[in-house]
Amino acid sequence: MNKIGLKSSPNSSKHDNMANAIRALSMDAVQAANSGHPGMPMGMADVATVLFSKFLKFDPAKPDWPDRDRFVLSAGHGSMLLYSLLHLTGYKDMTLEEIKNFRQLDSKTAGHPEFGHADGVETTTGPLGQGLAMAVGMALAEKMQAARFKEIVDHYTYVIAGDGCLMEGISHEAISFAGHLKLNKLIVLWDDNSISIDGSTDLAVSDDQAKRFEAHGWDVLSVDGHDAAQIEKAIAAAQKTDKPSMIACRTTIGFGAPNKQGTSGVHGAPLGDEEIALARKELGWPHEPFDIPNDILDKWRCVGTMGARHSAAWEETLKALPADVQSDFKNSLSGNLPTDLEDTLLEYKRQLSEDAPAWATRKSSQEALKVINEKVSITVGGSADLTGSNLTLTPQLQPVTADDFSGRYIYYGVREFGMAAIMNGMALHKGFIPYGGTFMVFTDYARPAIRLSALMEQRVIYVMTHDSIGLGEDGPTHQPVEHLAALRAMPNVQVFRPADAVETAECWQVALQSKSSPSILSLSRQGLELARKTHTAENLCAKGGYELAAANLDVKVSLLATGSEVTIALKAQKMLESEGIGTRVVSMPSWELFEKQDDAYKKETLREDTVRIAVEAGCSMGWEKYTGTDGGFIGINSFGASAPAGDLYKHFGITAEAIVAAAKDRL
């Protein structure tokens, strides 16, 4: 055991008024909202006070200062802890009014911390465990940026995590990954209060957390979470290790509420006026609700203003660097793409139309990435142990290892959820454009983090291959059916299902250009003929849907298809036209982008006056919007099966013949 135990010091019950200010604001705000979680902020007030006043490098006047330490409240339900700290340290937008409007519409003080609502909120938390995993992504991004800009990147990532975070499976993926890469500037403060919503944690868990973290290569320390001196010593020690650190902070949830502290009753409900009055006595805090005496506020504001010194010194260091380094650094943070990327991709597209390769779109993605990764220096690839299947690796990328963070490729291991959350953390940190691969069906494993990518409007690109029964023999557990629908249903997710190499390049371009949306690239395992043989300067996929092949005869039928089924639709078109039935094919690589087009364009693309048949090797949900309720659908509304891909397409009736029959039925 490499455990550094700190003995309980005599003043272990000490809690000063700076911490009490957090407690008071938290219990008062929750009471005013008549909703919220007072227990955690009251319990962790001492730890947070030490962290913010003695260690955290931040400047409330410059919330986006790139070299600030990151603070992640993984136990997001304790949001009042964070809001109190932001207010007390002097973040301009976190006024007392906002605190009083806790959990009200349009306030900056949402029930859980929401990225983008208030300065100083580094990430959205609440879905447990994900804050910890995103913090791992931030700590990783710091290491990687420091490997590139060592003079100006040197900051810690601190996390407050609760019992719930550590019970969630994603905590395992995050902890294991961080230990593997020895992310030593990651420091996790575990709120070890033995209480979760259902009551004592004894009801459901008996983990030896210290041993657990050690098993994954972490340093572990243990402190009385109400003893400032112990906390200070521990954080100072944690900063110096060559491993990530976990500090177990033994705390009393709801510290200060005499009748409710230490119970689940204080976890997620207001204390009530009576208990609040008693807590004020217990804490020696006679002040009115929301009233922070000037001397205490001054102390806190002093902590905040001290940050200006650090950020100013840093600015000097930055300015002393060569101009090109400064510019590289700023460009990496901006996340802007090189101006000539567009031309390069255009030329690449032109060449593709000429060469007409019949690649699987996963292969097309890799070929597009070869072009992109050459031009864009801030892309960071990776895969959840499916590198050779997802084809996410290109020759430009070297692996990131514990010894060398200068690379741009991450072996995430079999950790789909962790990968997604880590990518969120990297995107939030800034400096990189993360993309990562797994099988499309395993978007289910990563789904809670994909949702946060979308909610936080982060440019994270998911390279999801083997996107239908077309993957063949691996069978129904590996064959996505409902996944396109389930992802399209999610707000602010761009789902792309390109049909060939040209469309794949176009979709990659849109995904990279979309700075405030995550993108899902749904890619085939199987080879697909090139559908876009005529080069166009315009990025047609950017419209979401477009007429790929016009009818030669008087139009009777429109086939709306995506991805690997476009080829089948084109075949059906030929068969129908050979029977004298004018047929056009519309490729619809992205519903979301199509929805953004004007009505006239949508109308002329969908052609309501024709018989419309949708063709997609997924479930039908949502297609009625484009085909009408009298339209047809060729796809699969059941689970798949294990067999060679060709057999499956026949078995499930996703064939040109079936399309022809469905069209003729409706004429």
| Listed ranges 152-160, 427-435, 506-514, 643-651: which one lies at the site for a second copy (CB under 8 A) | 643-651
State the Cα–Cα distance between residues 425 and 428, nearest whole angstrom.
5
How many residues sit close enough to a second copy to count as binding (CB under 8 A)? 107
Contact assessment for residue 400 and residue 183, using Cβ atoms and an 8 Å cutoff: no
Q: Tell me how far, at minimum, the Cβ of 476 lies from a second copy, in Å.
A: 6
Among 82, 110, 144, 341, binds a second copy (CB under 8 A): 110
Q: Tell me how far, at minimum, the Cβ of 184 lies from a second copy, in Å.
A: 14
> What angle is formed at CA 81 by the lines to CA 228 and CA 224, rounded to 5 degrees?
25
Q: Tell me how far, at minimum, the Cβ of 484 lies from a second copy, in Å.
A: 9
The identity of residue 542, as a single letter, is A
Helical axes 443-455 vs 130-148, angle rounded to 10°: 70
> Is 342 among the catalytic positions?
no
State the Cα–Cα distance between residues 145 and 141, nearest whole angstrom.
6
Question: What residues between 63 and 102 interact with a second copy by CB under 8 A?
Answer: 76
Q: Say which DSSP state 432 is in.
A: -
Out of 416, 506, 565, 592, the active site residue is: 416
Torsion of CA 448, 450, 455, 459, to 10 degrees: 160
The number of C-alpha atoms within 13 Å of 218 and in the hemisphere containing its C-beta is: 29
Residues 6+ apart with CB under 8 A from 516: 457, 458, 459, 492
Q: Are strands 186-192 and 245-250 parallel, antiparallel or unpaired?
A: parallel
Binding residues for Mg(2+): 163, 193, 195
Structure tokens given for 28: 């008062």
Backbone angles phi, psi at 439, to 5 degrees: -75, 145
Q: Which residue, 133 or 345, is less far from a second copy as judged by CB?
A: 133
Q: Tell me how far, at minimum, the Cβ of 482 lies from a second copy, in Å.
A: 4
Contact characters 137-166, a second copy, x per CB under 8 A: --------------------------xxx-
| Listed ranges 63-71, 202-210, 288-296, 658-666: which one lies at the site for a second copy (CB under 8 A) | 202-210
Contact assessment for residue 512 and residue 337, using Cβ atoms and an 8 Å cutoff: yes
The number of C-alpha atoms within 13 Å of 458 and in the hemisphere containing its C-beta is: 33
323 binds a second copy, rule: CB under 8 A: no
Q: Which residue, 53 or 171, is less far from a second copy as judged by CB?
A: 171
Instruction: List b or e across 605-616, with b for residues whose CB sees 16 or more CB atoms inside 10 angstroms.
Output: bbbeebbbbbbb
Shortest CA distance to 663 belongs to which of 621, 625, 633?
A: 633
Among 651, 653, 655, 657, binds a second copy (CB under 8 A): 651
Q: Which residue, 285 or 442, is less far from a second copy as judged by CB?
A: 442
The identity of residue 261, as a single letter, is Q
Question: What residues between 365 and 424 interact with a second copy by CB under 8 A?
Answer: 383, 385-389, 399, 411-415, 417-418
Residues 6+ apart with CB under 8 A from 293: 287
Binding residues for substrate: 37, 267, 362, 389, 466, 474, 478, 525
| Listed ranges 61-69, 279-287, 535-543, 635-643: which one lies at the site for a second copy (CB under 8 A) | 635-643
Question: What residues between 447 and 466 interact with a second copy by CB under 8 A?
Answer: 447-448, 451-452, 454-455
Backbone angles phi, psi at 582, to 5 degrees: -60, 125
527 binds a second copy, rule: CB under 8 A: no
Q: Which residue, 189 or 452, is less far from a second copy as judged by CB?
A: 452
Q: Tell me how far, at minimum, the Cβ of 198 lies from a second copy, in Å.
A: 5
Question: What residues between 111 and 140 interact with a second copy by CB under 8 A?
Answer: 111-112, 114, 124-128
Q: Which residue, 357 or 413, is less far from a second copy as judged by CB?
A: 413
Q: How many residues does the chain have?
A: 667
Q: Tell me how far, at minimum, the Cβ of 381 lies from a second copy, in Å.
A: 13
State the Cα–Cα distance between residues 622 and 29, nearest whole angstrom.
43
The identity of residue 417, as a single letter, is F
Binding residues: 37, 77, 126-128, 163-164, 193, 195, 267, 362, 389, 442, 466, 474, 478, 525
Q: Which residue, 210 or 588, is less far from a second copy as judged by CB?
A: 210
642 binds a second copy, rule: CB under 8 A: yes
Q: Tell me how far, at minimum, the Cβ of 8 lies from a second copy, in Å.
A: 23
State the Cα–Cα distance between residues 362 and 390, nearest whole angstrom.
6
| Listed ranges 10-18, 65-73, 143-151, 208-216: which one lies at the site for a second copy (CB under 8 A) | 208-216
State the Cα–Cα distance between residues 49 and 22, nearest whole angstrom.
9
Question: What residues between 258 and 297 interact with a second copy by CB under 8 A?
Answer: none
Q: Which residue, 434 or 472, is less far from a second copy as judged by CB?
A: 472
Among 7, 105, 150, 294, binds a second copy (CB under 8 A): 105
Cα of 313 vs its chain's centroid, Å: 32
Question: What residues between 15 and 44 interact with a second copy by CB under 8 A?
Answer: 33, 35-36
Shortest CA distance to 537 belongs to which of 376, 349, 392?
A: 349
Report the catalytic residues. Answer: 416
